Structure 1
Amino acid sequence: MTERPEEVGPVRARLWTAGAGLAVVAAGLGIRSVGRGPVAEHAGDALYTVLVLTLVVLVAPRIRPGIAASAALGFSCAVELFQLSGIPAQLATHAPLARLVLGTSFNAPDLLWYAVGAAFGWTVHRAVRTRRGPGQSLGTTG
């Protein structure tokens, strides 16, 4: 029995999106390991939001690019503002993964770089979606 395209679409979309997410993680870790200073830091901030956007698309493959970018930007900014509470810094001392996910200290310029990441992610998501058709997202079939 063959599968209909609408049954395969979201699965393919999630596979493509998972691959994109892994590429974003690799890029972020690569930049952080070889780069130093503000360039590596700001690229990491932007890529953090791109990764959040890919996770949003992974959960909802047919989501519109603007909504996915807005959700990613909102989440990234919320995490940055959460750092003002001091809780992420405390968690980072006990769980190293918390340091990667939540950071440790508030830095206002990070908010700008999250917006850059959201704009980049929106551009890529929109380009892929436009190439595939208006009702389809990353990896869906027509």
Structure 2
Amino acid sequence: MGDLVRVRVLAGGAALATVGAGLGIRAIGSGDVVKYAGDALYTVLVVALVVLVAPRVRPAVTAGVALGFSCGMELFQLTGIPAELAVRSTMARLVFGTTFYAPDLFWYAIGAAVGWAGHRAVCARSDERRQALGTVS
């Protein structure tokens, strides 16, 4: 299996695992733990999706894109449009949220850091693998 395919498979698996973790936390937890874990996992999911679409992108770029997207969605909530959409669609509520809450920005940064670390680890492992196979000098 080529490196790009392997990275995409891992990213897809990470995306599914992240969604599973979010649903699991919602099922067994409550309160702030669930809310803030959800915020961080939202950004981790965006990292995984960025890697899935663009497997060659560097970890710092994926984390930056994911953080920017997550913060952008949070700021979009200031317009009131996401709240209007959420009334009509559960999916819109999950993707866009409903109301701006500044502490969420911190948890998005935590998620971006976790996503960066995971992506960096996968990249390092790929580099080691290529070196072991003699495909990198």
Using structure 2 for the length normalisation, give the TM-score.
Answer: 0.90
* CA deviation profile, 1:13-43 (whole Å, cap 9, x unmatched): 2122111100000001111111101111101
What residue in structure 1 maps to residue 60 of structure 2? 66
Q: CA contact under 8 A between 2:86 and 2:92: conserved in structure 1? A: yes
Q: Which has the higher contact order (CA 8 A, sep 6+)?
A: 1
What residue in structure 1 maps to residue 119 of structure 2? 125
Where structure 2 has 5 or more consecutive residues not aligned to the other structure, the ranges are none
Moved more, 30-39 or 71-80: 30-39
Moved over 4 A (4+): none
* CA deviation profile, 1:70-119 (whole Å, cap 9, x unmatched): 00000000000000000000001111100000000001000000000000
What letter matches 1:33 in structure 2? Answer: A
Using structure 1 for the length normalisation, give the TM-score.
Answer: 0.87
1:109 aligns with 2:103: yes
Where structure 1 has 5 or more consecutive residues not aligned to the other structure, the ranges are 137-141
CA RMSD across the alignment = 1.4
Q: d(CA) in 2 for partners of 1:43 and 1:133?
A: 31
- Percent identity of the aligned residues? 61
| Structure with more of its chain in helix, by fraction | 2
**Partner-residue secondary structure (3-state), 1:107:** coil
